[in-house]
Structure 1
Amino acid sequence: MLITPGVDPQSRLEQALESRPVDADVVLVVDQFEELFTLCPDHTVQETVITTLLCAAREPGSRTRVVIGVRADFYGH
């Protein structure tokens, strides 16, 4: 599954997680993760998205893996 945060990252993430197959291994790729900070200035939403990603990968018995892609020129930020 591939998502980009966009201006409404919480909604996009929720939609992706709700559409996960129940009994399958899933790799959730969050491309352009820097958009979480550049397009969404709300720190509460940023924290919620990050926490949701961590929970999705750490749930007991979770078959979801999370991969985050960030532009190299954004590392310093």
Structure 2
Amino acid sequence: MIRARIKTKMLGWLIRAQQYLVETLPSRPPSSSLTCPECGGATAHNEKYDVYFCAECDVYSEERCSDHRCQFCRNRPERPSRMRA
């Protein structure tokens, strides 16, 4: 009985947290991710590393995250030209 109430409360909390995130997070990446920090041109997106980059300037448009366990940033090459398709 107590476990059922705890599960119900946790489920309610998770649903409210999900609703909050859906309402507050942008539906697409910020516009700064879509332009090159060097030339201001359009960038491409690499899904394997979840990063925007400029092929012309060979730079990423965003820094690595601070989480050293991040599956995307952990193995990301120093330069976009070194990414494998």
Same fold (TM over 0.5): no
Larger radius of gyration: 2
Compute the TM-score of the two structures, normalised by the length of structure 2. 0.23
Q: TM-score, normalised by structure 1?
A: 0.25
Indicate the structure with greater helix content: 1
The structure with higher relative contact order (CA 8 Å, sep 6+) is: 1
